[in-house]
Chain A
């Protein structure tokens, strides 16, 4: 869970969104992993959709700088907030919201689908990164430890792997095979595809935090080079999801003159 610096919401609302708001994540080229990249992109997309400027800064120790240990986190004024959920709340306290127009039932649906993405997609990404031996050996281990000298790079990578494996076991994913995990990804994408239907966004004309979250994960899965293409193939089966990603990329990233997403 994210961690907000304890301020009452009046104080948060009082200060307008500054020009120098920054988002911190790990190094893009050599270090950041699939799941963290997805999370960071989701937050960037959300802020773009709210029309709030944000500068992305890459730091090798972003994970340790974060108050909750999770990336990304944003530094706004003198406050630091991490993870999409708390960031959405923080932005709302400043008077910006994408989901105000939804009725109660729609809000419930939105939250449920966001949990579906966390429960299935994010967990599958973590599984692939840390529990699939091929991926761990060829990609994750090297990337995660890349900023650090030996033996720290190995120690940190093993520690993180152990932590993730414990979590997988606690939620009942410990005994899953890669095929079962890919099945779950497919099921999740199918549900998202069915819910999206032919609409431009999940709640028709206007994007919400759900769209930002789904975009963050799907776009990252589609554009990240892994040991094989199985994961991205699952997403590619659903043409409306591909169109959805392209639409958000074009509208919120390219058209705004931002740097092309790598």
Chain B
């Protein structure tokens, strides 16, 4: 009776259901809240707009951007936050802002701007998911978008120089990871024993950084030292996403065999 919910998003690799942070945030939230999503991984038959992925489609709606998709799911009564107090809800917003301002620039840089990483890992992987000739164009566009975002939000006008901000964004990201680790402590999730929106966001941002194998790894090394954050990611992967062991290489054209395991039923689905 619930409208069918279809999520179009980037596929997985390296043990993850998706290597794209925003897609992963939505997938994790859907798992936590019990939303029955049908996941359509972008492959070479995909004909829709790819720039806005992840995209949620129902019979009458098309929703893009993680924040809007999560809002939509909540309105459909798939709410992972119903046990949170008002203050915890406020903390969620604040920590998400922290992630976007302090961690995201360095994650974007690691994936899309750092040349060794981009040319040997990111670009081939994304290009392999989509048909020619888009495979020649889209990764470059995403890379330029990432660089743009970093420079416009952290660079100094009127001359935007990447080098000036590189050191600063990595410093900020490491500090942010430390703050997250302090905040998580020994708890299983950020608010008590059940995962919520904040857990989805942290998982979405951290898991690709943790798992994707890059040549230039300074931020990854820092993350690996924070064992509770790594444990957090591994726990979510093993509890909510049981991945069958297909061959995951970074230039993988065949359909990922992602088996979405049983959903934990502690949520308020109708």
In angstroms, Cα B182 to Cα A122, docked, is 27
User: Secondary structure at chain B's binding surface: helix, strand, loop or mixed?
Assistant: helix
* A209 CB, min distance to chain B CBs, angstroms: 14
Q: Please, which residues of chain A bring their CB within 8 A of the CB of B95? A: 112
Considering only residues 103-160 of chain A, those with a C-beta below 8 Å from chain B are 104-105, 107-109, 111-113, 115-116, 118-120
Q: A171 is contacted by which of B102, B149, B180 (Cβ under 8 Å)?
A: B149
Of B84-92, B230-238, B239-247, the stretch lying at the interface with chain A is B84-92
Q: Please, which residues of chain B bring their CB within 8 A of the CB of A166? A: 152
Does A94 make an interface contact (CB < 8 A)?
no
* A38 CB, min distance to chain B CBs, angstroms: 17
Question: Would you call A194 and B86 a contact (CB within 8 A)?
Answer: yes
Considering only residues 71-97 of chain B, those with a C-beta below 8 Å from chain A are 86-87, 89-91, 93-95, 97
Does A255 make an interface contact (CB < 8 A)?
no
In angstroms, Cα B100 to Cα A135, docked, is 28
Size class of the A contact interface (CB-based, 8 Å)? 20 to 34
Question: Would you call B98 and A170 a contact (CB within 8 A)?
Answer: no
Question: Would you call B149 and A69 a contact (CB within 8 A)?
Answer: no
Question: Would you call B97 and A115 a contact (CB within 8 A)?
Answer: yes
Question: Would you call B153 and A170 a contact (CB within 8 A)?
Answer: yes
Q: A191 is contacted by which of B94, B154, B157 (Cβ under 8 Å)?
A: B94
* A178 CB, min distance to chain B CBs, angstroms: 17
* B206 CB, min distance to chain A CBs, angstroms: 15
Considering only residues 2-60 of chain B, those with a C-beta below 8 Å from chain A are none
Question: Would you call B93 and A163 a contact (CB within 8 A)?
Answer: no
Q: Please, which residues of chain A bring their CB within 8 A of the CB of B182? A: 104-105, 108
Produce 1/0 per residue, A1-13, CB < 8 A to B: 1010000000000
Does A240 make an interface contact (CB < 8 A)?
no
Does A187 make an interface contact (CB < 8 A)?
yes
Q: Please, which residues of chain A bring their CB within 8 A of the CB of B65? A: 172
Produce 1/0 per residue, A179-191, CB < 8 A to B: 0000000011011
Q: Please, which residues of chain B bring their CB within 8 A of the CB of A116? A: 93-94, 97-98
Q: Please, which residues of chain B bring their CB within 8 A of the CB of A109? A: 91, 94, 183
* B167 CB, min distance to chain A CBs, angstroms: 11
Question: Would you call B93 and A191 a contact (CB within 8 A)?
Answer: yes
Does A98 make an interface contact (CB < 8 A)?
no
Does B156 make an interface contact (CB < 8 A)?
yes
In angstroms, Cα B94 to Cα A100, docked, is 21
Q: A195 is contacted by which of B90, B97, B157, B165 (Cβ under 8 Å)?
A: B90
Does A197 make an interface contact (CB < 8 A)?
yes
In angstroms, Cα B145 to Cα A154, docked, is 29
Does B226 make an interface contact (CB < 8 A)?
no
Considering only residues 67-81 of chain A, those with a C-beta below 8 Å from chain B are 68-69
Does A192 make an interface contact (CB < 8 A)?
yes
In angstroms, Cα B157 to Cα A155, docked, is 16
27 contacts between A and B (CB under 8 A): A1-B165, A1-B168, A68-B156, A105-B183, A105-B185, A107-B179, A109-B183, A111-B98, A112-B94, A112-B97, A112-B179, A115-B100, A115-B102, A116-B98, A119-B97, A119-B101, A167-B153, A170-B145, A170-B148, A171-B152, A187-B93, A190-B90, A191-B93, A192-B90, A194-B90, A195-B91, A195-B94
Given A107-B179, A118-B97; 18 other pairs, CB 8 A cutoff: A1-B156, A3-B156, A68-B156, A105-B182, A105-B183, A109-B91, A111-B179, A112-B179, A113-B94, A115-B94, A115-B98, A115-B101, A116-B93, A120-B93, A171-B153, A190-B90, A191-B89, A194-B86
Residues of A near any B CB (own CB < 8 A): 1, 3, 68-69, 104-105, 107-109, 111-113, 115-116, 118-120, 163, 166-167, 170-172, 187-188, 190-192, 194-195, 197
